[in-house]
Amino acid sequence: MATVRPFKGFRPAQHLAAEVAAKPYDVLNSEEARTEAAGRPLSFLHVGKPEIDLPVGTHLYDASVYEKGRENLQKLIKDGVLKEDAKQNFYLYAQTMGKHTQFGIIGCVSVQEYLNNTIKKHELTRQDKEDDRTRHVKVTNAHTGPIFLTYHAEPKIDAIVDRVRLVDPIYNFVADDGIRHQLWVISDDRLIRSLIEHFSRVEHLYVADGHHRSAAAARVGKELAVANPHHRGDEEYNFFLAVLFPHNQLRIMEYNRIVKDLNGLDEDGLIAAIRKQDFVVRKSDEKAQPAKKGEYGMYLNGAWYRLTADMKYLNNTDPVERLDVSILQKYVLHPVLGIDDPRTNKRIDFVGGIRGIKELERRVDSGEMAVAFALYPTSIDELLSIADAGKIMPPKSTWFEPKLRDGVVVHFLS
């Protein structure tokens, strides 16, 4: 069963929340982060992407980067921008994107339950990225951005959320991307005990987004436990920062693919090769945004095509093999375009659905890429069933929106 516990969060003064809160480190490259943080000295990007405060060209994994992140975090505290709450709380965090709102409980979850798979995963991590986040946690001594977790919706937890949000939130701001962020502090001891009890009956938590962060948090927690001769198990390093959303509120967008070249084929040869893999290929007069599973849009030489996979692929009994991303990889990207391993192959890139179809067109029309594939989103039920089966999704299978903001609440390890 799931252990979720309150903590003394460090968070921005109410009037500074909008200035501090920032996009997660992994959705912006250094140049984008530098632009976004320009003229915003309080932006948490200075903590999550501290290379923006170092000379351009500084290696992302240089020791100076992590030290700068620690320095910037401590300055926010010293200057009174971030303040520690007086008692252990839970927090309710709401995000509104368009007409969609999702409500998550911010708390700390167990490193041990991550290690024993009570907290389930569905993706592999890359060693370099896991090492990067591990060093960031160690040097800052903090979980500066929460892990995005989900669980099978529980009506009793929903009822507590409905009660908490009856009062005005302590934070309520709209970010530059149009997404509204709201925060309530749950300090009532009865509600805190109820949340602990109700989550203790939740069989499993699931990592929705943040596999590298969660793996890093678990590594650091385990290392600190081994290094502490007086380890008890209740120290803060045994727990990491998370936002827990019920599964029925989550929104997954497509994660599209773009490829640099046609692997020696011309346009006609590519289409013919895809048809040989039992796909129907038709030219489209409009942007070929997939409308259902098994459909793909393909953008090539200024034109859109609609690809439809044979039903035998969708009827596969293996929950991973019948994913749209798996079908595209196994029957098009690998045999036709030569993308053997999408985790390491430098000829492929990935575009989150939030960037839209126009981003696919832009990168192909610019000559940077040769062909783009638009996919239908993976569902939350597919994600949960794969995690429950102990299986791993292909890389870049899911793009969750809206993204959590870093700097809303920070958890220190000691």
- pLDDT per position as a tens digit, 322-360: 999 999 999 999 999 999 999 889 999 999 888 889 999
Cβ atoms of residues 198 and 160 within 8 Å: yes
Cβ atoms of residues 209 and 398 within 8 Å: yes
Does 150 score more than 90 pLDDT? yes
Work out the pLDDT band at 126, boundaries 50, 70, 90: confident
Mean pLDDT, residues 53-74: 97
Work out the pLDDT band at 287, boundaries 50, 70, 90: confident
The pLDDT tens digits of the residues spanning 153-200 come to 999 999 999 999 999 999 999 999 999 999 999 999 999 999 999 999
The pLDDT tens digits of the residues spanning 32-52 come to 999 999 999 999 999 999 999
Q: How far is CA 61 from the centre of its chain?
A: 21
**Domains, in order of start, for the chain:** 4-10+83-251+401-412 (no CATH), 255-376 (3.30.1760)
Is the preceding omega at residue 155 within 30 degrees of 0, hence cis? Answer: no
Residue of 171, 166, 188, 183 whose CA lies nearest to 93: 183
Cβ atoms of residues 20 and 81 within 8 Å: yes
The pLDDT tens digits of the residues spanning 189-215 come to 999 999 999 999 999 999 999 999 999
* Residues shown for the chain: 414
pLDDT for the residue 94: 98
Q: What is the pTM of this model?
A: 0.92
Work out the pLDDT band at 268, boundaries 50, 70, 90: very high
pLDDT for the residue 354: 84
Work out the pLDDT band at 285, boundaries 50, 70, 90: confident
Work out the pLDDT band at 1, boundaries 50, 70, 90: confident
Helix axes 189-200, 155-164, angle to 10 degrees: 160
The pLDDT tens digits of the residues spanning 71-102 come to 999 999 999 999 999 999 999 999 999 999 99
